[in-house]
């Protein structure tokens, strides 16, 4: 059964590669096919994304002469169709762009904003987040359009069109999507979600079934033809606001009118000879990553070895400290002032001196005050590099899997529930991981704090490693592990992505480790335990779809879920 499913998947991906990436070299194709699409290499360009169809759309745009930003935009729209749990037009995210001409990398912030009518205590009563009340003002369409205005080289409509076709003509789903939809449709309380994403005859989806998303296709068509007006004004906006009013949501036309994506300066820091670029506020990713990498750099981790107790103790202690500072200071920098020293080498050096090399630090001794004793995951990351070396690292999300599960009636797209990323209970910070510190409290038009960490490492002015991940607060630690695996331990892209990851978030006071149940790591887990770390097993952490550029070859490594690496493999 498993073998049959695997063969089917390989066959489906192979077919897409043949249809959509013409001129494929037979040898490269064979490699792609054998690897079940998780690995690809090319000199021409690369897209690594969670969905084979999404990756193939991006690869086709590269093949047609589009640059990495063109391909990223087309991939993002395609994923809004083929990866509905996180790919979106009703959510938000971040795009980091490393130009090929030696110019400075730029960051496009298209994070959702709090509606104008938001209040500080609007979520104080908690409860389910799968409803209209948790919807933030969507940013994706404005963000992708802004990226296009700055760097796009092909016509906008050409980049949206593949998504229109996928939605209107339908696409064949893989087993992962079928299982995920069956689960969500069964458990959702939203009728329109059930109607749009359920199977018309009421039976279960299975691998190879075709799903058509007619209303979504019509909305994407409006976006293709009218640009941002096709989403923030006219028919789409009218349907969105109607949906909000009907379900008790807060987003209104005035919110849509006021929403703007922003160009920001990425967080930049050195790690040995490398230049690391990552997400600035309203993401906590770059600042937290800079501290963890900065602390790590103070120790010669390479000589200690990747799986030594010392290395992993230092990594956990770096996580603990950086996440305590995250809880204390980080939020939307348009609203709060964030200390500049957080990303400096001297601060990292100071933090490293507070680590006891023999014992775990108690999290209570760090970060904000605990005020109370007694808190689903889905986002997606893709990486793109074009033939000239321009690189794009994009992470975007609906927040939870399928966001709020509110499908805009008549417009067919799913809305986010990103408002849950604010500190919903002001003043309540507890040992279970709830954070109620002042910085990230709801205010009208504020962007909620994110952990999304699209990252590009540069070497001699050229992009060298493009990575990022979903996974809520674990994201920053996933990026930390992958980046350190490459920069410090010299792993290949595949090794770095496959290596088991760790996660410590200051609170809860525990380390989740993907290798904890493996005999290979028994001694490590035992020794960390003896130092006072509470190490627990975890099934998985993140989905780091990564590209490494080595000696002019683009090496794509998709993660272990159903990611696909689609290389552009014409004659070289």
Region of 186-194, 303-311, 449-457, 494-502 interacting with ligand DON (CB under 6 A): 449-457
The residue range among 74-82, 99-107, 331-339, 470-478 that interacts with ligand DON, by the rule CB under 6 A, is: 470-478
**Which span sits near ligand DON by CB under 6 A: 51-59, 67-75, 237-245, 373-381?**
373-381
Give the shortest CB-418-to-ligand DON separation in angstroms. Answer: 6
What is the Cα–Cα distance from 511 to 500, expressed in whole angstroms? 13
Which residues neighbour 530 within 8 Å (Cβ) at sequence distance 6 or greater? Answer: none
Choices 32-40, 250-258, 362-370, 372-380; region in contact with ligand DON by CB under 6 A = 372-380
Helix and strand tally (H, E) in the chain? 19, 21
* Segment interacting with ligand DON, rule: CB under 6 A, options 190-198, 223-231, 382-390, 466-474: 466-474
Report the nearest approach of ligand DON to the CB of residue 81 (Å): 19
Residue 184 CA to residue 400 CA, distance in Å, equals 12
**CA 572 – CA 569 distance, rounded (Å):** 8
Q: Is the peptide bond before 282 cis (omega within 30 degrees of 0)?
A: yes
Rounded to whole angstroms, the Cα distance separating 208 from 495 reads 31
- Mark 386-415 with x for binding to ligand DON (rule: CB under 6 A) and - for no binding: -----------x-x----------------
Count residues near ligand DON (CB under 6 A): 14
**Site string (117-146) toward ligand DON, x via CB under 6 A:** ------------------------------
Establish if 472 lies at the interface with ligand DON (CB under 6 A): yes
Helix (H), strand (E), coil (C) string for 202-253: CCCCCCCCEECCHHHHHHHHHHHHHCCHHHHCHHHHHHHHHHHHHHCCCCCH
Q: Which long-range contacts (CB under 8 A, 24 or more apart) does 26-31 make?
A: 28/567, 28/569, 29/569
Residue 472 CB, nearest approach to ligand DON (Å): 4
**Closer of 237 and 327 to ligand DON (Cβ):** 327
Tell the smallest beta-carbon distance from residue 237 to ligand DON (Å).
24
Q: Which of 75, 140, 311, 379 is catalytic?
A: 379
Residues 474-533 that bind ligand DON (CB under 6 A): 475
Determine if 429 is a binding residue for ligand DON (CB under 6 A): no
Angle between helices 309-329 and 345-353 (to 10 degrees): 120
Which of 421, 503, 505, 509 lies at the binding interface for ligand DON (CB under 6 A)?
A: 421
Q: Residue 423: how many CB atoms within 10 A of its CB?
A: 23
Tell how strand 414-415 and strand 92-98 pair up.
unpaired
The 10 Å CB-count burial string (b at 16+, else e) for 137-170 is: bbbbbbbbbbbbeebbebebebbbbbbbbbbbeb
343 is catalytic: no
**From the CB of 448, what's the least distance to ligand DON, in Å?**
7
* Peptide bond between residue 508 and the one before it cis (omega within 30 degrees of 0): yes
d(CA 412, CA 433): 35
Residue in 255, 275, 378, 559 binding ligand DON, rule: CB under 6 A: 378
Q: Which of 377, 425, 447, 533 binds ligand DON (CB under 6 A)?
A: 377
Measured between alpha carbons, how far is 290 from 294 in angstroms, rounded to an integer? 6
* 188: contact with ligand DON by CB under 6 A: no
Q: What span, in angstroms and rounded, lies between the C-alpha atoms of 153 and 132? A: 37
User: In this complex, which beta carbon is closest to ligand DON, that of residue 243 or of residue 399?
Assistant: 399
Q: How many other β-carbons are positioned within 10 Å of the β-carbon of residue 19?
A: 10
Min dist. Cβ of residue 345 to ligand DON (A): 26
Q: Quick one: 67 or 451, whose CB is closer to ligand DON?
A: 451
- Pick from 180, 219, 311, 450 the residue near ligand DON by CB under 6 A: 450
Backbone angles phi, psi at 64, to 5 degrees: -80, 5
Q: How far is the CB of 86 from ligand DON (least distance, A)?
A: 7
As a whole number of angstroms, the distance between CA 446 and CA 281 comes to 11
**Sign for the pseudo-dihedral over CA of 453, 454, 458, 464:** positive
Judged by CB under 6 A, the stretch of 142-150, 377-385, 429-437, 557-565 that binds ligand DON is 377-385
**Minimum separation from the CB atom of position 284 to ligand DON (A):** 8
* Residue 379 lies near ligand DON (rule: CB under 6 A): yes
Instruction: Write down the least CB distance from residue 111 to ligand DON, Å.
Output: 8
Among the listed residues 286, 471, 563, 567, the single contact to ligand DON using CB under 6 A: 471
Strand partners, 274: 271
454 near ligand DON, rule: CB under 6 A: no
Residues annotated as catalytic (active site), given as ranges = 379
Q: Which residues bind ligand DON (CB under 6 A)?
A: 377-379, 397, 399, 418, 421, 450-452, 470-472, 475
């Amino acid at each position: 059964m498993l073998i049959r499913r695997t063969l089917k998947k390989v066959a489906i991906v192979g077919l897409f590669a043949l249809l959509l990436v013409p001129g494929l070299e037979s040898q490269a194709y064979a490699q792609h096919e054998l690897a079940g699409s998780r690995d690809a290499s090319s000199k021409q360009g690369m897209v690594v994304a969670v969905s084979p169809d999404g990756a193939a759309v991006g690869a086709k745009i590269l093949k047609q002469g589009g640059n990495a930003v063109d391909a990223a935009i087309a991939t993002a729209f395609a994923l809004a169709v083929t990866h509905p749990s996180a790919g979106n037009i009703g959510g938000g995210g971040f795009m980091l762009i490393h130009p090929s001409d030696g110019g400075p990398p730029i960051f496009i912030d298209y994070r959702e904003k709090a509606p104008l009518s938001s209040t500080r205590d609007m979520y104080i009563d908690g409860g389910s987040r799968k409803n209209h009340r948790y919807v933030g003002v969507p940013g994706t369409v404005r963000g992708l359009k802004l990226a296009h205005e700055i760097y796009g080289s092909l016509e906008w409509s050409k980049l949206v069109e593949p998504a229109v076709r996928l939605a209107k003509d339908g696409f064949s789903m893989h087993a992962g999507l079928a299982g995920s939809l069956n689960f969500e449709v069964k458990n959702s309380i939203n009728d329109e979600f059930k109607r749009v994403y359920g199977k018309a005859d009421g039976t279960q989806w299975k691998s190879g079934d075709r799903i058509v998303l007619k209303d979504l296709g019509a909305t994407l068509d409006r976006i293709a033809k009218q640009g941002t007006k096709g989403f923030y004004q006219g028919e789409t906006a009218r349907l969105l606001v109607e949906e909000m009013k009907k379900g008790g949501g807060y987003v209104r036309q005035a919110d849509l009118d006021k929403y703007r994506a922003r160009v920001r300066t990425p967080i930049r820091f050195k790690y040995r000879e490398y230049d690391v670029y990552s997400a600035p506020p309203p993401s906590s990713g770059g600042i937290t990553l800079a501290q963890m990498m900065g602390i790590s750099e103070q120790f010669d981790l390479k000589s200690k070895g990747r799986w030594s107790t010392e290395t992993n103790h230092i990594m956990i202690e770096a996580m603990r400290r950086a996440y305590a500072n995250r809880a204390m200071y980080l939020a939307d920098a348009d609203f709060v002032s964030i200390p500049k020293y957080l990303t400096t080498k001297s601060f990292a050096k100071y933090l490293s001196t507070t680590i006891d090399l023999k014992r775990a630090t108690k999290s209570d001794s760090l970060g904000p005050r605990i005020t109370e004793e007694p808190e689903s995951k889905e986002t997606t990351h893709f990486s793109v590099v074009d033939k000239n070396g321009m690189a794009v690292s994009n992470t975007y999300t609906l927040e939870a899997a399928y966001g709020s599960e509110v499908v805009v009636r008549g417009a067919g797209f799913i809305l986010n529930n990103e408002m849950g990323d604010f500190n919903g209970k002001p003043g309540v910070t507890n040992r279970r991981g709830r954070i109620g510190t002042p910085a990230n409290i709801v205010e009208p038009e504020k962007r909620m704090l994110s952990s999304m960490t699209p990252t590009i490492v540069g070497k001699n002015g050229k992009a060298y490693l493009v990575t990022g991940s979903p996974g809520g607060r674990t994201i920053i630690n996933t990026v930390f592990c992958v980046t350190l695996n490459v920069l410090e331990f010299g792993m290949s892209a595949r090794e770095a992505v496959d290596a088991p990851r760790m996660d410590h978030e200051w609170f809860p006071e525990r380390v989740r480790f993907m290798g904890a149940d493996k005999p290979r790591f028994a001694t490590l887990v035992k020794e960390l335990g003896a130092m006072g770390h509470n190490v627990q097993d975890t099934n998985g952490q993140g989905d780091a779809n990564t590209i490494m550029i080595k000696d002019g070859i683009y090496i794509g490594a998709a993660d272990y879920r159903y990611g696909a690496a689609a290389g552009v493999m014409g004659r070289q």
